Amino acid sequence: MTDQYTFGNPVTRYHQGGFEPQPQDGPGLASELSPRPDHGEATYRGTGRLEGRKALVTGADSGIGRATAIAFAREGADVVLSFLPSEESDAREVADLVEQAGRKAVLAPGDLTDEQYARGLVATAVRELGGLDALAVVAGKQQHAEDVADITSQQFDETMRTNVHSLFWIVQEAVPHLPPGSTIVTTSSIQGYQPSPNLVDYATTKSAIIAMSQALAQQLAPKGIRVNVVAPGPVWTPLQVAGGQPDDAMPEFGTSTPLGRAGQPAELAPPFVFLSSGESSYVVGEVLNVNGGMPTP
């Protein structure tokens, strides 16, 4: 079985080459992807690095958020799982895995474009977990458009509200509850540095997330709250097949990286764990690029 611990060639560690087109209606389900993404369900081994922590993970049903929630639980954290109601079947699988790790899972379905829901996630965590000290803001919206004229105001607004506004709402609501030692990890992208011409609105939000996170990192560091960013490259998640990429791009998806393949969600969970743990206590305002070798500033 492929895992994150056995010494081996990273080029051949996971699925090589592209993927068959397999369009889904948004937001998409991991359970319907072929091949099934690896979120670390069968392999991630915790070592107590987040023992007793109280975490909120957005986009926790699939992809990077799912892998992060699983890893957080196996590292000892209780987790509030934020996801869209249509993704509940995937989210319940994650909740089962969290509970199998001996931790508390709180299902919190809703739409992050709704300010009341986004802010309410903090109250849910404080009430259900007895506090909050770890945020992993992962959820995102990505829809390709070959021409700027094809981006509707509704799509632009939904992308901004999902990716940027919700981050602001959650952090603003959370800060008064976060004790010293707490962590916030946000999710940017290679698109924040190397924007694709067909992802104008998405790339804009990913640059904004870096700027917001680095400003917050400086503001909150004196309070003992660390803010950092993970910036993935191409990763095999439902985001890609639910309009994130054109169908005809899927056979080549991820193959342009120096490793020649897309990443798997299981490869993104360890950076979130590291940046949320005490091991990274002197890491503040950093952007950790996990992109298969694509050059970044």
Strands, sheet with 226-232, edge to edge from the N-terminal-most edge strand: 105-109, 78-83, 54-58, 134-137, 183-187, 226-232, 287-290
Question: How far, CA to CA in Å, does 29 sit from each of 124, 136, 231?
Answer: 25, 20, 22
Question: How far, CA to CA in Å, does 140 sit from each of 47, 58, 164, 179, 259?
Answer: 29, 9, 9, 27, 25
Catalytic residue among 14, 44, 193, 202: 202
Burial (CB < 10 A; 0-12, 13-18, 19+), residue 284, is middle
For residues 40 and 73, the answer to whether their CB atoms sit within 8 Å is no
| Known catalytic membership, residue 282 | no
For residues 15 and 74, the answer to whether their CB atoms sit within 8 Å is no
For residues 229 and 184, the answer to whether their CB atoms sit within 8 Å is no
Gap between the Cα atoms of 161 and 87, Å rounded: 19
Burial (CB < 10 A; 0-12, 13-18, 19+), residue 205, is buried
Gap between the Cα atoms of 194 and 36, Å rounded: 28
Active site residues: 202
